[in-house]
Amino acid sequence: MEAYKKEFIEFMVDCKVLKFGDFVTKSGRKTPFFINTGFYRTGGQLKKLGDYYAKAIADKFGTDFDVLFGPAYKGIPLSAAAVISLSEAYGADIRYCSNRKEIKDHGDKGILLGGPIGDGDKAVIIEDVTTAGTSIGETLPIIRAQGDVDVLGLVVSVDRMERGQGKKSALREIHEKYGLETTAIVTMAEVVEHLYNRPYKGEIIIDDTLKNSIDAYYEQYGAEE
């Protein structure tokens, strides 16, 4: 596993973004782990997060695109942080853009904030985590309503590696249904590999009991591919 992936996993633990316990996902699944990017709360944390996203984006999509779209609300700071890092690390001056939950009818009117999107633009979507793949079906129509936009793909922080609407992974379903390439900074398999029975700051984050719970979760919801 690359060093930056290990660093990112530990970064999530330090920021309390990656948590273990009893949770329920947006799709209604009871899960022993949860990723909440809302816990990145300081400038320093967002700067580091943007750097990790920028590397994942550049590795998968390069930097020859125009817009990084972050769906409201969590995608707003993600897109802003990542384009700053793309500019600093790769010299790529990419626009950030997000949608409003309600259309603004005065001043800077419309459904979008940040940079505009239009005909001929190439865009990448940035999200925190995709579990069942439902949010992408809401985001794509917003982008494509702006014009003839080429949506290259989707980047998330963590691939939960579980079923979407069927038996395949949510990211695989997105690829097959919408023709989008997908990537993640890390997968849950990499998270488990790095933290299982390995002390971090004097603590075992994933012990045998938790590992059994994670394994049981994947027996029920794990993707076939």
Q: What is the mean pLDDT of the chain?
A: 92
Tokens of 112: 């979008």
Dump pLDDT digits (tens) for 59-110: 999 999 999 999 998 999 999 999 999 999 999 999 999 998 766 555 455 7
Please indicate whether residue 168 is annotated as part of the active site.
no
Kindly report the number of other CB atoms within 10 A of residue 30's CB atom: 11
What is the mean predicted confidence (pLDDT) over 166-193?
93
Dump pLDDT digits (tens) for 12-48: 999 999 999 999 987 788 999 999 888 999 999 999 9
The answer, yes or no, to whether the previous bond of 196 is cis (omega within 30 of 0) is no
pLDDT of res. 187: 95
Q: Annotated catalytic residue: which of 16, 26, 30, 104?
A: 104
pLDDT of res. 191: 98
Tokens 């329920």 correspond to what residue?
24
Per-residue confidence at 137, pLDDT binned at 50, 70, 90? Answer: confident
State yes or no: pLDDT of 130 exceeds 90: no
Which stretch of 20-24, 113-117, 128-132 has the lowest confidence by average pLDDT? 128-132
Query: In percent, how much of the chain has pLDDT > 70?
Result: 95
Per-residue confidence at 133, pLDDT binned at 50, 70, 90? Answer: low
State yes or no: pLDDT of 162 exceeds 60: yes
pLDDT of res. 132: 62
In three-state form (DSSP H/G/I as H, E/B as E, the rest C), the secondary structure along the chain is: CCHHHHHHHHHHHHCCCEEEEEEECCCCCEEEEEECHHHCCCHHHHHHHHHHHHHHHHHHHCCCCCEEECCCCCHHHHHHHHHHHHHHHHCCCCEEEEEEEEEECCCCCEEEEECCCCCCCEEEEECCEECCCCCHHHHHHHHHCCCCCEEEEEEEEEECCEECCCCCEHHHHHHHHHCCEEEEEEEHHHHHHHHECCEECCEECECHHHHHHHHHHHHHHECCC
Please indicate whether residue 104 is annotated as part of the active site.
yes
Q: Annotated catalytic residue: which of 101, 106, 109, 201?
A: 106
